[in-house]
Amino acid sequence: MSSAPGHSRLTKTHRVSIAGVAALGAASLALTLLPGTGSAEAEAGTQDMAAVAMVAPEGTGAMQAKVVEQHAAADKRVKDQAAKEKAAAEAKAKADAKAKADAQAKKRAEEKEAASRAAARKPVYANNLDGWIREALDVMKTRGIPGSYDGLHRNIMRESTGNPRAMNGWDVNAQNGTPSIGLLQVIQPTFNAYHVPGTPHDIYNPVSNITAAANYAAAKYGSIDNVNGAY
């Protein structure tokens, strides 16, 4: 498009110059309106404002770039903080899981050790008359049933000579269908009534037979030690 007669096309330099002049005019007006401003101060202020006006377009671009850079730095800080918090949470979860596993392993080890100590403390009884009497005495002690080794041994030898499978097939009990059985020759109804919990419910079991008979003797005679004949 051609320019109007008498007018020339404005170049980029002209446009910048005009913007600068406009800014300079505004600055000059502002300085003029300030009370007490001398001519030398006004002139210096005008020169400063002109310089600012000339570099304003370039300064604005730099400021925008700075803002973009600051936003990028802020985003990076947020991401870095999120990554740090995630890593800390994962490390804590891992530490908690390890602590839990260690606690469970420690508990299992303690239980195993306690069981081992209990097994070590448990007496081992011989599988003979002496062992049966000693085991029966320990059971009787925990149940509060009176009796001594001598009292048990004496009555056992009289009743069965130490044979846990002994059975009386001729006395009145046998005739009534309930023969006397075992080390202390107990009939089944008496065994059932005086069976000591914690021992097998088996009349032929030596320890069960002894403890049931001692329990019955304690109820009837005060103690197996007081029994010196058939009971």
pLDDT tens over the chain, length 231 residues: 444 444 444 444 444 444 444 444 444 444 444 444 444 554 544 454 444 444 445 567 888 888 888 888 889 999 999 999 999 999 999 999 999 999 999 999 999 888 887 777 778 999 999 999 999 999 999 999 999 999 999 999 999 999 999 999 998 999 999 999 999 999 999 999 999 999 999 999 999 999 999 999 999 999 999 999 777
> What are the structure tokens assigned to 195, written together?
């069976």
Look up the pTM and report it.
0.51
The pLDDT score that the predictor gives to residue 18 is 42
Q: Which helix (H) or strand (E) holds 59?
A: helix 39-121
User: Whose CA is closest to 186, among 216, 162, 163?
Assistant: 216
Produce one character per residue of 64-86: b if its CB has 16 or more CB atoms within 10 Å, e if not: eeeeeeeeeeeeeeeeeeeeeee
When computed from its CA atoms, the radius of gyration of the chain, rounded to whole angstroms, is 56
Report yes or no: 138 and 132 within 8 Å, Cβ to Cβ.
no
Q: Which two tokens stand for residue 148?
A: 């001594």
* 3-9 own/partner pairs: CB under 8 Å, 24+ apart: none
Joined tokens for residue 125: 């009884």
Contacts of 126-135 spanning 24+ positions with Cβ under 8 A: 129/153, 129/156, 129/162, 129/183, 129/206, 132/164, 132/183, 132/206, 132/207, 132/210, 133/210, 135/207
What fold, for 129-226? Lysozyme (1.10.530)
